[in-house]
Amino acid sequence: MEKQETPSIVYRFGNGVYINLTNRCPNLCVFCIKTKWNMQFHGNNLNLEGQEPSAGEVIAALERELRKAPFQEVVFCGYGEPTMRLDVLLFVAQTLKGWRAQAKYPPFIIRLNTNGLGNRINHKDIVPLLARVVDEVYVSLNAPDAASWQKLVRPIEEFQDGYEDVCDFIHACVEAGFRKVVASCVAQTGVDPDAVARVANAQGATFYLRSFLDEQD
């Protein structure tokens, strides 16, 4: 795999342009590829080394990247939890939505990939804020119950009881009427994907089983 030294604020994967807002995350998932791949992802260095980009830097990086080649979606993702930087996320998503309204680029989707702990992280209900500027939400669910979730995602002490919050977040996103709400499970972690799918469907979300070699959550 080609190695790149300069940290990527935005990078391409499939039909998407991805935004790497932070490397911080309250979880330490056993399947997290940021540790396995030494912060590299398909030729991009996603190690921000603590230098998280400002909203202005993200927008400038997007303006450079989006004009280079076609894309179908812009995704808040990266090697970290995007809702750790809620204000920047919302500002950038609002800017993207404005560009879309002005038809500055061909039509595209604005997506958030998240671990589902955003309400706990931000100590408030962030779903209505997201619903104004984000089209689709993909939540990394990964487990059919709290005990296996704890073992797999290894949250910090404060979030040991976070499984219910993740389920509530998924449900709230469905209720808020996002274009698509997907709850995912990484394959081959030892949990029964069908059981995770039942939890996802019970919250009203679409289920997606993904390889850990796919994008991060």
Max distance between CA atoms of the chain, in angstroms, equals: 47
Among 28, 156, 202, 209, binds ligand SF4 (CB under 6 A): 28
Pick the piece of the chain touching ligand SF4 (CB under 6 A) from 21-29, 59-67, 162-170, 189-197: 21-29
- Could you say which of 9, 10, 17, 32 contacts ligand SF4 (CB under 6 A)? 32
Residues 60-79 as x/- pattern, contact with ligand SF4 by CB under 6 A: -------------------x
DSSP 8-class letter at 159? G
What is the C-alpha to C-alpha distance for residues 124 and 130, in angstroms, rounded to an integer?
12
Smallest separation (angstroms) from ligand SF4 to the CB of 183 = 13
> What residues contact residue 61 under an 8 Å CB cut-off, 6+ apart?
9, 10, 53
Q: What is the smallest separation between the CB atom of 6 and ligand SF4, expressed in angstroms?
A: 21
Query: Torsion over CA of 87, 7, 80 and 85, rounded to 10 degrees?
Result: -10
Nearest residue to 169 (alpha-carbon basis) of 109, 217, 126, 215: 126
Q: Does 162 bind ligand SF4 (CB under 6 A)?
A: no
For residues 136 and 178, is the Cβ–Cβ distance under 8 A?
A: yes
Minimum Å gap between C-beta 216 and ligand SF4 is 5
Coil, strand or helix at 105: coil
Using the rule CB under 6 A, is 21 a contact of ligand SF4? no
Of 17, 19, 21, 29, which one interacts with ligand SF4 (CB under 6 A)? 29
| Of the candidate residues 53, 80, 162, 193, the single one contacting ligand SF4 (CB under 6 A) | 80
| Shortest distance in whole angstroms from residue 192 CB to ligand SF4 | 20
d(CA 25, CA 172): 21
The residues in 131-160 that bind ligand SF4, with binding defined as CB under 6 A, are 140, 153
The Cα 9–Cα 217 span in angstroms is 16
State the residues that interact with ligand SF4 by CB under 6 A.
25, 27-29, 32, 34, 79-81, 115, 140, 153, 216-217
